[in-house]
C-alpha cells in the first residue's frame, strides 16, 4: 500500500469519526431539548390542573356566601362591606406560585335577552327596555329587532334592521340563526349587526337566563338599566338613584316608584317583571399558577330551601 493511499484512508477515518461524534452531539442535544420540553409540558399541565381545581373550589366559596346572604336578608343588594358581594369588584387571594381572584355579580341586575319573547311573540315592555338601553349606549336600537329574530322561530324580520334566514345565508361565511332562546351570552356576537364594539358596550348590562320571567332586580341594576324602566327618565337620573341606593336598598318594588326623584319628575315606571330578590348569580374567577392561567364564569342558581346549583360553567380566553 502506498503512502498516499494510507493518508487517504486516514482522512476518511477521521472524517467518519468526526461525523459520528457530531451526530452523537446532535442526538444528545435533541434528547435534552425533548426532555426539557416534555418536562415543561408536564409542569404546565400540572399547574393548569391545579388552577382549574382552585377555580372550581371558588364555586363552593361562592355558594357559602350566597347561602348566608339568603338567611340574612329578605332582599338582594350589593354590600360595600362584603368584599365578595361588592358589585362585581374582584377579591384576590395569594397562592403558592400564583393567585386566585373572584367576584360575584347578580345576573338578574341585567336585562335578560330571552325576556324579549313572550311565547313566540315579542314582549313589548322588554323590547322597549332594550331599545332605551341601546339609545343610552348610542347603539342603533333597530338591532333589538335582529336579536328578537335570532331567538324567535318565525321567518319574518322584526323592524327595518331585523335579520332572518336570508341575511345569514347570504354572508361570506354563511350560518343559520338559532331560532330559539339563547343559551349563552356569547351568542350575541353572532347576531347580524352586533360587532365587537357593540358587544363590549352591552355586556355589563345584558345577560342570558333560561327563565324569561326572571324578575329584574332593581337593587342591583346598573344606572343605565334603571333608566330603561320608563320612557321619560332623563339622562343621569339612574346614577343618582344608584348613589342613594347604596345606603338605602329597596325593600319592595314600590319603594322605587315612590322615590322622590321619580315622583318629582312625574315618572311612571314599567313595573312588569321587577323585583328585589335574585336567584341567578355570576361568579367570575381567575386563577394563575406558574405560567398557567384559568378564567372561568359560573352561573349559580339559588333555589328554594337554599338549594344552590351550578347551572353553567364556561372557560374564558
Same domain, 248 and 303: no
pLDDT at 90: 80
Give the residue, 278 or 33, on which the prediction is more confident. Answer: 278
Same domain, 115 and 258: yes
Same domain, 6 and 86: yes
Same domain, 90 and 161: no
pLDDT of residue 36 exceeding 50: no
Average pLDDT of the chain to the nearest whole number: 85
Same domain, 264 and 180: yes
Please measure the distance between the N-terminal and C-terminal CA atoms of the chain and give it in whole angstroms.
74
Task: Count the residues in the chain.
Answer: 317
Residue matched to cell numbers 341575511? 167
Same domain, 144 and 68: no
Tell me which long-range contacts 241-248 makes (C-beta under 8 A, separation of at least 24): 245/77, 245/219, 246/78, 246/80
Residues 224-256 pLDDT 10s = 999 999 998 999 999 999 999 988 999 999 999
Same domain, 288 and 172: no
pLDDT of residue 187 exceeding 50: yes
- Cβ atoms of residues 111 and 228 within 8 Å: yes
Give the domain CATH number at 8. 3.30.1300.30
pLDDT of residue 108 exceeding 80: yes
Which residue from 105, 114, 136 is spatially nearest to 180, judged by alpha carbons? Answer: 114
Same domain, 198 and 49: no
43: confidence class by pLDDT, cuts 50, 70, 90: very low
Give the domain CATH number at 241. 1.10.40.60
Residues 117-145 pLDDT 10s = 998 899 999 999 999 999 999 999 999 99
Same domain, 197 and 240: yes
Domain residues for the domain of 220 are: 111-275
- Number of domains the chain is built from: 2
Backbone conformation region of residue 158, classed left if phi is above 0, alpha if psi is from -120 to 50, else beta = beta
CA distances from 56 to 70, 88, 216, 302 (A): 22, 18, 28, 17
- 101 strand-pairing partners: 92, 286
- 293 strand-pairing partners: 288
Q: Determine what percent of the chain falls in helix, strand and coil, rounding each to the nearest 5.
A: 45, 20, 35
Same domain, 120 and 103: no
Amino acid at each position: 500500500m502506498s503512502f498516499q493511499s494510507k493518508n487517504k484512508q486516514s482522512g476518511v477515518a477521521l472524517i467518519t469519526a468526526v461525523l459520528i461524534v457530531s451526530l452523537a452531539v446532535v442526538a444528545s442535544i435533541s434528547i435534552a431539548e425533548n426532555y426539557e420540553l416534555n418536562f415543561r409540558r408536564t409542569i404546565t399541565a400540572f399547574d393548569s390542573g391545579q388552577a382549574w381545581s382552585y377555580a372550581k373550589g371558588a364555586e363552593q366559596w361562592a355558594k357559602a356566601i350566597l347561602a348566608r346572604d339568603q338567611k340574612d336578608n329578605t332582599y338582594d343588594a350589593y354590600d360595600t362591606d362584603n368584599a365578595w358581594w361588592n358589585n362585581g369588584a374582584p377579591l384576590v387571594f395569594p397562592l403558592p406560585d400564583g393567585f386566585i381572584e373572584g367576584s360575584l355579580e347578580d345576573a338578574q341586575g341585567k336585562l335578560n335577552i330571552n325576556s324579549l319573547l313572550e311565547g313566540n311573540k315579542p314582549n313589548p315592555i322588554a323590547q322597549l327596555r332594550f331599545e332605551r338601553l341601546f339609545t343610552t349606549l348610542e347603539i342603533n336600537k333597530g338591532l333589538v329587532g335582529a336579536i328578537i329574530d335570532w331567538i324567535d322561530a318565525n321567518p319574518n324580520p322584526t323592524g327595518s334592521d331585523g335579520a332572518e334566514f336570508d341575511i345569514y345565508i347570504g354572508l361570506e361565511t354563511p350560518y343559520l340563526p338559532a331560532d330559539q332562546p339563547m343559551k349563552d351570552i356569547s351568542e350575541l356576537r353572532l347576531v347580524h349587526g352586533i360587532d365587537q364594539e357593540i358587544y363590549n358596550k352591552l355586556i355589563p348590562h345584558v345577560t342570558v337566563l333560561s327563565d324569561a320571567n326572571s324578575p329584574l332586580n332593581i337593587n342591583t341594576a346598573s344606572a343605565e338599566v334603571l333608566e330603561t324602566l320608563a320612557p321619560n327618565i332623563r339622562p343621569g337620573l339612574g346614577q343618582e338613584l344608584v348613589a342613594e341606593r347604596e345606603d338605602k336598598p329597596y325593600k319592595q318594588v314600590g319603594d322605587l316608584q315612590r322615590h322622590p326623584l321619580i315622583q318629582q319628575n312625574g315618572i311612571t315606571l314599567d313595573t312588569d317583571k321587577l323585583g328585589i330578590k335574585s336567584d341567578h348569580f355570576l361568579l367570575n374567577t381567575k386563577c394563575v399558577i406558574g405560567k398557567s392561567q384559568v378564567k372561568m364564569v359560573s352561573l349559580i342558581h339559588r333555589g328554594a330551601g337554599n338549594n344552590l346549583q351550578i347551572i353553567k360553567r364556561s372557560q374564558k380566553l
